[in-house]
Amino acid sequence: MKAITVLVSLGVIAAAFGAAAVEAATWHFQYRSDIGRFSGTIEGELQGDGNTVLVTAVPAFVKFKGVPLASFPVLTTGSTIYNVHRAPSVTFDGSLLDFLACSAEYCATEGFGFDPDTIEFT
């Protein structure tokens, strides 16, 4: 199972609206694979289950093997390749890692992503 390691949760922005409240926040993550360590920051909304984050942005704080990468303003999902339509998402327990961050529309050039079955670096 692939697990995303949450290092720090910064600046929870939303007010509490009961048990199912959605919270917007920023998380630092790192992912280790056979080819190196990948780390960065995602912005998103923590869902009421306390496990799922709907990813809304990937700020320009992404590194691969300690080297900063380009900015990736386009956000989509790996599952769209398989014609499954859902919001870019990750879970703290690693049961779902599904987002692509790219420098251009349709991820035609540079980018990185977690899809439900693999991790990709370009």
Amino acid at 40: G
Radius of gyration, CA atoms only, the chain: 14
Long-range contacts: 106-109, Cβ < 8 Å, 24+?
107/74, 107/76
- The pTM (predicted TM-score) of the whole model is 0.67
Q: Does position 115 have pLDDT exceeding 60, yes or no?
A: yes
What is the model's pLDDT at position 45? 95
Q: Residues 6 or more apart from 106 whose CB is under 8 A from it?
A: none
pLDDT, tens only, 14-71: 323 333 455 568 988 888 878 888 888 889 999 999 999 999 988 877 888 888 887 7
117 or 68: which carries more pLDDT confidence? Answer: 68
